[in-house]
Structure 1
Amino acid sequence: MKYRSALILPIALASGLLFTNCESKNEPIVRSSPKPLTAAESKAALKKWEATPDGVHFKNWEASPAGKKVQAGAVKINRFIRSNATMEGVITSLSLPVGSRLGFGVMVNINGEEYILSMGSVSKSEIEQLKSLRVNDKIVIKSRGVSKAPKYAFAIVSGDYLERDNKVIYKRIPNKGGC
């Protein structure tokens, strides 16, 4: 009898702890979302970043001829991006510049200007379709944004939608529960 009670007591305690642990997991978790910065806070944060070594390097690059060329390319296609319009392009290279860390992408010529077209991370089925692209293929692109970085001599177009010969090759899946 002593041995039974000695065995039952730890089992009862362990199951009680597990039960209370399960109950706490079912309670809703309330997370506070960060408040968006005001215009003044945003401007102050930008000024603070511009004073850092990375910020100084970026500002110097932006003022250089290479930075101005990249900025001009970004401005050239901004109206298409803001209006969510399609852009026609021609693939010029199937590989990105050496050292790129942009996920899957190709080099593309849009309106006489070279761009990096980056799709980011893609699934295996999308990779197969994207690998069917060839140099000089004419494609239709939709994008949500264009960015620039001192590491690259070209503006970076974020690909949302890619079509060749009226067939969709890639379509970005929007983030779940987000913007």
Structure 2
Amino acid sequence: MLPIKPIKKIIAGLILLLLVVSGLVYAKRELKNESPKNPSPKPLTEAEKYEARRKWDFSADGIMFNNWAASPAGKKIQASADKLSNSVKNNTKMEAVIRSLTLPEGARLGFGMMVKIDNEDYILSFGAGASKEFEQLRSLKVNDKISIRSHAISKAPKYAYPIVTGNYVELNGKVIYKRAPRTDGC
């Protein structure tokens, strides 16, 4: 039979171990239930937006872009973009004719094509996506007349045409592409 003093030490050790383990479990549970310490960032105020834009305007990229926008090529692209701005803002259909099934050389816009809308050339970009998503668009041919809707027009010094983001394409009254709604909350 064991003497009583070592048994008391063993029991005391086991109780101490039990207390430490239960404390760790309790602390871990509290950490999981705690709200995140970094709440989502607040939207920028008008003053902060203005300051960020001003800072960008004086950066190397901003200066290069502003010089391009003031050039004849930049003004021509802006004028073409302005022609479509009301249709894009109001999400109305625009009639287009496919001019080329490929984007300009070196373009990094994902899947897209060249179209003519109101006698102006545009890049119609659908972005990167699953090839299955664009399956019906790949069946289009040069000179096909399509109806499109867009939510954005952009421009960049790299491209000689405004970039129209395609949301919806219709061929002969049949919808062949409709952008899936965003699921990430933005």
Q: What's the TM-score once normalised by structure 1's chain length?
A: 0.83
1:171 match = 178
Aligned pairs, number? 166
Distance 1:133-1:35 versus aligned 2 partners, 3 A rule: same
One of 114, 117, 141 as aligned partner of 1:134: 141
Secondary structure of the residue aligned to 1:170 is strand
Displacement after TM superposition at 1:62 (Å): 0.2
Matched, 1:117 2:124: yes
Q: Distance in 1 between matches of 2:131 and 2:141?
A: 18
Q: Any unmatched runs of 5+ in structure 2?
A: 1-21
1:96 and 2:103 are equivalent in the alignment: yes
Deviations 1:77-135 (A, max 9, x none): 00001111110100000010111111100000011111000001232322221110110
Find the counterpart in structure 1 of residue 163 from structure 2.
Answer: 156
User: Which residue is equivalent to 2:93?
Assistant: 86
Once structures 1 and 2 are overlaid, which stretch shifts more, 21-30 or 116-125?
21-30
Q: Displacement, 1:40?
A: 1.7
Q: 1:151 deviation in Å?
A: 0.4
1:175 shift after superposition: 1.1
Tell me the CA shift for residue 24 of structure 1.
7.4
Flag the structure with larger Rg: 2
**Larger deviation: 107-116 or 162-171?**
162-171
Matches of 2:26 and 2:174, distance apart in 1: 54
Match of 1:53 in 2: 60
Deviation of the 1:70 alpha carbon:
0.7
**8 Å contact from structure 1 (residues 126, 169) kept in 2:** no
TM-score by length of 2: 0.80
Superposition deviation, residue 27 in structure 1: 4.1
* Structure 1: gaps (5+ residues): 1-15
Contact 1:148/1:156, CA 8 A, preserved across alignment: yes
Q: In structure 2, what residue type is equivalent to 1:74? A: A
AA of the residue aligned to 1:118: S
Residue 15 (structure 2) aligns with:
none
Aligned residue in 1 for 2:3: none
Shift of 1:22: 8.9
Structure 1 residue 25: deviation in Å? 9.0
* Residue in structure 2 matched with residue 65 of structure 1 by the alignment: 72
1: CA distance, partners of 2:90 / 2:144: 25
The one-character-per-residue Cα deviations of 1:130-160 (angstroms, maximum 9, x if unpaired) are 1101100001101001000000010000111
Q: Is the 8 A contact 1:118 1:159 kept in 2?
A: yes
AA matched with 1:36: P
